[in-house]
Amino acid sequence: MKNHYSPDHLAWHETLEIHELTAFQSIGLMKLKKAYPEVTDPALKELYTQAIEGLSANIRELLEFYPMAPRSDQDDDEFRNDEIPFYAGDLLALFKTGVRNYAIAITETATPALRNVLKQQLIRAIDTHAKAFYYMYERSYYPSYNLEQLLQNDINLANKALNKHF
């Protein structure tokens, strides 16, 4: 049975998913572009070029859905030029991914001593993620309770990543 319903806005959960994907890929794109000048191997440089082009295309496609996000008509076009939010977001993403990786690794662990070590490291990763989150939240780099500002921050970060030369 086909569903022909085509709403003029995204659902809340879809909006949050594109937020996560856009923010994560924008930070990754910035990292690739920062590293690109240091890559000397031609084959690796080509892989970097393909990755940069692919992430850029992904971000552009996702940004097309932002106008469909549920929010009021007010926009804040403030653009942050400093790099601190980028570094904080990178730290947050690193530990968020680490928490996921530890959780998966623990489910695959049969050795009790290793399981205990991984559990301790998971707790530290969770604590560090929380510290990075609160650092960003307190400075409005990650306004998690303000969807409009969160999405505007994504758009700003994505545009900064797309416009960065490499």
- The boundaries of the domain holding residue 68 are 1-80+144-166
Query: What angle, 0 to 180 degrees and rounded to 10, lies between the N-to-C axes of helices 84-107 and 147-163?
Result: 100
Give 8-18 pLDDT, tens digit per residue.
788 887 888 89
**Co-location of 54 and 100 in the same domain:** no
Section 57-78 average pLDDT? 77
**Co-location of 5 and 68 in the same domain:** yes
Residues with Cβ within 8 Å of 28's Cβ and at least 6 positions away in sequence, in order, are 55
- Look at the chain and report how many structural domains it folds into: 2
Helix, strand or coil, per DSSP, at residue 68: helix
Closest CA to 156 of 142, 137, 135: 142
Closest CA to 56 of 158, 155, 151: 158
**Co-location of 95 and 22 in the same domain:** no
Question: Which residue type occupies 153?
Answer: N
Intra-chain end-to-end CA distance of the chain, in Å: 47
Give 71-107 pLDDT, tens digit per residue.
665 444 444 457 888 899 999 999 999 999 999 999 9
**Co-location of 76 and 87 in the same domain:** no
The structure tokens listed for 152 are 């505007």
Section 15-44 average pLDDT? 93
Which pLDDT value is given to residue 100? 93
The structure tokens listed for 2 are 């086909």
Residue 125 and residue 94 in contact, taking contact as beta carbons nearer than 8 Å: no
**Co-location of 149 and 88 in the same domain:** no
In whole angstroms, what is the distance from residue 144 CA to residue 132 CA? Answer: 13
Task: Look at the pTM and tell me if it is higher than 0.75.
Answer: no
Residue 130, pLDDT > 50, answer yes
| Mean pLDDT lowest among 2-6, 28-32, 161-165 | 2-6
**Co-location of 11 and 64 in the same domain:** yes
